Amino acid sequence: MLVLVAPGQGAQTPGFLTPWLDLPGAADRVAAWSDAIGLDLAHYGTQADAEEIRDTAVAQPLLVAAGLLSAAALGDITPGAVAGHSVGEFTAAAFAGVLDDTTALTLVRKRGLAMAEAAAITATGMSALLGGDPDTTVPHLEKLGLTPANVNGAGQIVAAGTLEQLAALEADKPEGVRRVVALKVAGAFHTHHMAPAVDKLAKAAEEFAPADPAVAYVSNKDGRTVATGDEVVARLVGQVANPVRWDLCMETFQELGVTALVEVCPGGTLTGIAKRALPGVKTLALKTPDDLDAARELIAEHA
């Protein structure tokens, strides 16, 4: 069984969209999306520097656009399940037919703006902890006032909180943690610091009528599959201020019988985790259009 997944914020790099815009129809599609959401996605995906695309209000729609564009380039495929990490859940919702592409981008643009506004209230951030045991790491984070905002599995937890709390973590790592790596994000996402953004996104979501998922949609909230479009959207809204449980998503992939996992552009992060957490599962990350042929071959074998 094939699982199609979409990465979250921090996966973006300067110029990563450039080769994708050379595909037939891609530039026109991105231009139409840009007009719809009032953001020049082509500029930010090809010319902007790392600091510009670190901006939450830019990074989030840019990542979703890249995921949608690269998935469309694969052709007409039907995965057994879809999932996304954090903002990648909007990409996955479009894969599943819950939201159309423009609606997904419209909502994620409003999400990014609301989260950027919430992040400006207090200086906050996120850091990935490599190594360690969750039973030891989580209590240590809570002692420092930090939130385990992403529990990714394969020995990786992402802590979120104020910059002072993250500095304290650098000086006082949990037992077994090898490294603490600051992420390219502009706030403590998936924590109480994002609570002001939840209401704004909820109001924006009221304007759209979601469809029920056409394939299994696996939620970050608890790793469970979600049967209705209304519940998918409710979870998308609430997840802004609640931890991402990617570890539980991967457990569900196993229960569903996953044999292959393809990560859309800018792929790499989730396939890296899957290689450690899902032994025996074939993985492929879409980084440039050069990866499309290999992805199509893998999909043909496992879809």
Contact criterion met (CB below 8 Å) for 62 and 53: yes
| Cβ within 8 Å of residue 166, ≥6 positions away | 125, 126, 127, 146, 159, 182
On the CB side of 102, how many CA atoms lie within 13 Å of its CA? 10
Measuring CA to CA, how many Å separate 206 from each of 75, 178, 269?
A: 31, 44, 32
End-to-end CA separation in angstroms for the chain: 6
| DSSP code of residue 268 | S
Which position among 34, 86, 127, 219 bears the catalytic label? Answer: 86
Contact criterion met (CB below 8 Å) for 4 and 265: no
Please tell me the total number of residues recorded for the chain in this structure: 303
Question: Known catalytic residue: 190?
Answer: yes
Which position among 85, 140, 190, 302 bears the catalytic label? Answer: 190
Give the Cα separation of 45 and 33 in Å (integer): 13
3-state secondary structure of 127: strand
Question: Known catalytic residue: 86?
Answer: yes
For the beta carbon of residue 170, count every other beta carbon within 10 angstroms: 11
Catalytic residues, by residue number, are 86, 190
